[in-house]
Amino acid sequence: MKYNHNKLLVKDLNNGKEKAYEYLVDTYGDRMYAYALTLVKNPPLAKDIVQNVFLNTWKFRKKLSSEYEIKNFLFKSVHNEFITQYQKDKSQMVLQYKYIETLDQIIEETDESSIIKMIKIVYNEIEKLPPKCKEVFYLSKKEGLTNNEISLHLGISVKTVEAQITKAFQILRVKLGEQFESIFILVFGKPLLS
């Protein structure tokens, strides 16, 4: 189906008609990708940006207004998603710098056998976590899955995933205390007490 009028297209999107969504992807996908590519100069990231925009457009389709041109909305959304990704990358770089700084400090201040002992203690405490809590914790920290991915993988809600991770951190905080903060960063790349 071809949409000649913006209002009809937005109305069909509001009503959840998949043909309207397909039309959106087919008509604007390549142009949005080209635009994203001018912003990031990274094909996989440009593709991710466009996919995120389309996913969010579908997710929030009921809020779309026929007063605004859908094309303008899509390209503005690509720009906004680029800004979001840029800020995420920037904060990621700060975290990586702190991580490297902490690793240097651990290596300078601690002998190898002590580090190995502390790592064993961390893993022993993780093994003592309740089964579901331990599974979610490992998927998050060891496998690097997002909360959404864990939710889909285990068939539980994102809220449950968040609750299990919080519970794991609370238990480990009590069991390990502050002296194991550095080792925790070494093992998982994330502070225990955050």
Q: Mean pLDDT over all residues of the chain?
A: 82
User: What phi, psi does 83 have (nearest 5°)?
Assistant: -60, -45
Under the banding of pLDDT at 50, 70 and 90, the label for residue 52 is very high
What's at 190, amino acid-wise?
A: K
Q: Stretch 139-143: mean pLDDT, rounded?
A: 82
Q: Stretch 172-176: mean pLDDT, rounded?
A: 81
What is the distance between the terminal CA atoms of the chain, rounded to a whole angstrom? 51
3-state secondary structure of 161: helix
Cβ of 140: how many Cβ atoms within 10 Å? 21
Cα separations (Å) of 29 from 41, 50, 78, 163?
A: 17, 7, 11, 37
Predicted confidence (pLDDT) per residue in 100-111, tens digit: 566 566 556 656
Query: What whole-number distance in Å separates Cα of residue 15 and Cα of residue 168?
Result: 42
Annotated domain spans of the chain = 6-97, 113-188
Architecture of domain 113-188: Orthogonal Bundle (1.10)
Question: What contacts 24+ positions apart, CB below 8 Å, involve 156-162?
Answer: 161/136
Q: Of 84-88, 109-113, 157-161, where does the model show the most confidence?
A: 157-161
Query: What whole-number distance in Å separates Cα of residue 49 and Cα of residue 36?
Result: 7
Q: What is the dihedral of CA 86, 91, 94, 99, to 10 degrees?
A: -120
Instruction: Return the pLDDT at 171.
Output: 86
CATH topology of domain 6-97: Rna Polymerase Sigma Factor; Chain: A (1.10.1740)
Instruction: Return the pLDDT at 135.
Output: 92
Q: Stretch 66-70: mean pLDDT, rounded?
A: 86
Instruction: Return the pLDDT at 194.
Output: 46
At CA 94, angle to CA 91 and CA 100, rounded to 5? 140
Say if residue 68's pLDDT is above 70. yes
Give yes or no on whether 6-97 and 113-188 have one common fold. Answer: no
Residue partners of 185: CB distance under 8 A and separation at least 6: 99, 102, 103, 106, 191, 192
In the block, which residue shows the tokens 């496998």?
143
Say if residue 149's pLDDT is above 80. yes
Instruction: Return the pLDDT at 17.
Output: 92
Query: What whole-number distance in Å separates Cα of residue 149 and Cα of residue 145?
Result: 6
pTM, full prediction: 0.47
In the block, which residue shows the tokens 């071809």?
2
Q: Stretch 17-36: mean pLDDT, rounded?
A: 92
Q: Stretch 4-31: mean pLDDT, rounded?
A: 91
Instruction: Return the pLDDT at 15.
Output: 93
